[in-house]
Amino acid sequence: MDVFDAILNRRTTNTAFIDKKVSEEDINTLIKMASFAPSHFNCQPWRFIIIEDKELIKKIAKIGGDSMTQLMDDGRFWKQYRKYFRFDDDEIEKTKDGIHIDHMPAFLKPFAKQIFSEAGGKIISRFRVSRILGNDEEKLVADSPILFAIALTKDEYKKEELSRFYSVISMGAVIQNLWLSTTALGMGMQFISTPGEIPEQWEKIVNLLEVPDTYELAAVFRMGYVDKNMKRPTIDWKSSQRKSPEELSFRNRWK
C-alpha cells in the first residue's frame, strides 16, 4: 500500500476483529516496522510484548472493562472528555474535531446529550450506560487475536528530564508505524486506554505481563484482521472529520 493511502485510510478499529489467528509473518512484520521508528541517538528505548495467550488476554480484557465502568461511575470520564463529544452533523460541521456518537440503542437517543454530560450520573445509572460500555470493551479486547504492549526503559523515561520527552516522541513514531503497518496488512488496531487512567488497574496489567522494574509499561493495543461488515458496538462513534489545512497551519509566523 502506498504510504499516503495508508495514512488517509488509517482508522481506529472500534469493532470486533474477524476470528482469524494473526500469522507469524505478520507479527514479525509488525515488530520489524515498529523497530524502525526513529529514536533519540538511536537509543531504541522501547521493548514490545506480543500477547497471544487467550487466558491472559481475557484477564486484561476484564481489567479494561472494569476500568471503563469505574471511570464513568465516578465521573472522571465525563469531566475529562465531555468537551470532545459531538451528537449531530451540525456540531461536526462546526468544530471538525471530537467524536461523533452516532450509534446507540434507540431508547437512549432522546437522552444522548444528558447521558454524555457531567451531570448525567443518574441517567447513566438508570440506563446502565457505564456497564454497557464496560461490557463492550471487555468483549472487544477478549476476542482480539493479539495484544501489542509497549514498554519504555527507565534509563531514558525519566521524570523531569528531556530524555522522557524524547522517549515519548519515539514511542509516538512506533505507534504510527504500527498503525500504518496494520492498515497495509488488512488489520486494525485500537488503544486499550482506560486501565491507564486508574493506576491500580494499570499495575494489575504490569504484573500480569511481568514487566521488570527497569521498564515502564506505556501502552497496550489490541490488533487483528478487519472486516468492514463487522457489527458495531452497542454505543459507538466516528471520528474521521478533520480541520482544514488552513485552520491548522501557518507560514513563517503564527498567523
pLDDT band of residue 122 (cuts 50, 70, 90) is low
Q: What is the pLDDT of residue 166?
A: 96
Please give the grid coordinates belonging to residue 80. Answer: 475529562
Q: Which domain holds residue 123?
A: 3-236
Does residue 51 sit within a domain? yes
Distance (Å) of CA 38 to CA 65, 147, 159, 169, 252: 33, 23, 21, 9, 26
pLDDT, averaged across the chain: 92
Does residue 156 sit within a domain? yes
pLDDT 10s digits, 191-220: 999 999 999 999 999 999 999 999 999 999
Average pLDDT over residues 77-90: 87
Does residue 98 sit within a domain? yes
pLDDT band of residue 129 (cuts 50, 70, 90) is confident
pLDDT band of residue 118 (cuts 50, 70, 90) is low
Q: What is the pLDDT of residue 116?
A: 72
pLDDT 10s digits, 41-79: 999 999 999 999 999 999 999 999 999 999 888 878 877
What's the maximum distance between 2 C-alpha atoms anywhere in the chain?
Answer: 55
Average pLDDT over residues 120-134: 75
pLDDT surpasses 70 at 121: no
Q: What is the CATH number of the domain that holds 92?
A: 3.40.109.10
Q: What is the pLDDT of residue 75?
A: 76
Helical pair 24-35 and 162-184, crossing angle rounded to 10 deg: 140
Average pLDDT over residues 130-149: 95
Does residue 122 sit within a domain? yes
Does residue 254 sit within a domain? no
List the one residue out of 151, 168, 162, 134 whose CA is nearest residue 215. 151
Does residue 91 sit within a domain? yes
Does residue 251 sit within a domain? no
- Structural contact between residues 18 and 142, judged by C-beta atoms closer than 8 angstroms: no
**112 vs 218, more confident:** 218
List the one residue out of 71, 68, 105, 109 whose CA is nearest residue 87. 109
Does residue 253 sit within a domain? no
pLDDT surpasses 70 at 119: no
How many domains does the chain divide into?
A: 1
**127 vs 156, more confident:** 156
pLDDT 10s digits, 148-172: 999 999 999 998 899 999 999 999 9
